[in-house]
Chain A
């Protein structure tokens, strides 16, 4: 479980986050939505431990390994696909050379990038780059995965496919997922719960439970799916 306790963040003059409280259950998929500049990415970075909160704290119980998926995939352009997947295993140490190669092979198969081991990031499409970025994190078998608008740079069709893939990976790997996005459809499709934040200083205004059991094409076209998207969009818009 990850507990965000009364987190407030100031950047010099800017009041980014105000008294955020949030409990995230182990294995849950939770999504934070909010207008631009509401501090949702800041909150994610505080949970990651990349920046410190001004007040409050984040407690991560029985979670040791976390991974962060960045908006622009954050690949090393001078490393090929194979070497990019092995990067975090090198940084975390404790993986032998043969172990790295074996795990990289498996995870590349899992995300459908087999055969591209020798390619360089600039040769990949936006969707493939994101798959590679996911693979690089998942190979560590993280307890929790933090995703910062991972699909904002890909086209609509690729985005839907990747949403389905992320859902599948989440079911297979059973990590806790915290996603930040401004795409409400994506939030509703992927999550167990959607957290709605207000503009700066970011506060949690609503937490919406998503009741769907199955994620598929039928759900996407269903009325209840669109009604929930409409509800959450309405909650976002009251702040505009």
Chain B
């Protein structure tokens, strides 16, 4: 059973690596397209450098993500309390989504300086909307019978929120968090691209720019892979949290 679950993606990975190796061999220019082994070598030889960058990017993405979670859930909670509040603020939440974050990033750097804070803010902006949107959807989708049940027993707005609407919205909240997990890392990398050499040390994004400049393509790929895995770890953490919260009751997690 467990074998069946794991082997198909492994098989795809093996085929992918073979095609890549073969393609790189045919192409014959390792400084443009290194083979997987060379990427692995870069990963090993620059391990300390990569881990140092990972640590910085991890913090930036984590802070951006945590801020997005707190701001996102709070603003969705506020908007869910009245139609007027929702109609007043939701259009601006949409604008936040359509806002080209990459284009705004230079402005953010002007305001918050050439350091980690700017990167955190850019990560926050990029990962905020899915959390607001999904949480709000969940908070508004409470079964009408349950709302009436609570109304019948004089429950206050506060009790309604914490005993009914919020728990009922958890599946949607988790869905939003899962989308934003990867986005927060993307936001951090974008932020690092913008602040670039202005930063001290520098995370994975800064390193990618430098490695690219030096035509160290294998290192660039190793850095990309590391950033990808970071997003994946974020995603899996939220998925695990979601499983813990929902395993007893939600269709998506009941096995």
Contact = CB atoms under 8 A, between A and B. Distances in A.
The finding on whether chains A and B are genuine partners in a shared complex, rather than unrelated, reads: yes
Interface of A: 45, 48-50, 66-68, 70-72, 74, 76-78, 80, 87-88, 90-92, 120-122
Given A74-B148, A78-B249, 13 more contacts: A50-B152, A68-B152, A70-B148, A72-B143, A74-B143, A74-B145, A78-B168, A78-B170, A88-B153, A90-B163, A91-B159, A120-B248, A122-B251
Contact of A77 (B148, B159, B163, B249): B249
Contact residues on B (Cβ < 8 Å of other chain), bracket: 20 to 34
Contacts of B154: 91-92
Name B's interface SS: helix
B148 A45 contact: yes
Contacts of A77: 249-250
Contacts of B159: 91
Contacts of A72: 143, 145
Please provide the 3 A-B residue pairs with the shortest distance between their CB atoms, ordered closest to farther.
A91-B153, A74-B145, A77-B249
User: Most chain-A Cβ atoms within 10 A of its Cβ — which of B149, B155, B249, B254?
Assistant: B149
B36 interface: no
A71 B52 CA distance: 59
A76 B248 contact: no
A67 B148 CA distance: 11
9 contacts: A48-B152, A49-B152, A66-B152, A68-B148, A74-B148, A80-B248, A88-B153, A120-B248, A122-B251
Nearest to A118: B248
Contacts of A90: 163
A108 to B, nearest CB: 18
A1 B204 CA distance: 74
A70 B151 CA distance: 13
A9 to B, nearest CB: 16
Contacts of B150: 91
Nearest to B246: A78
B167 interface: yes
Nearest to B251: A122
Interface string B136-153: 000000010110111111
Interface in B230-255: 248-251, 254
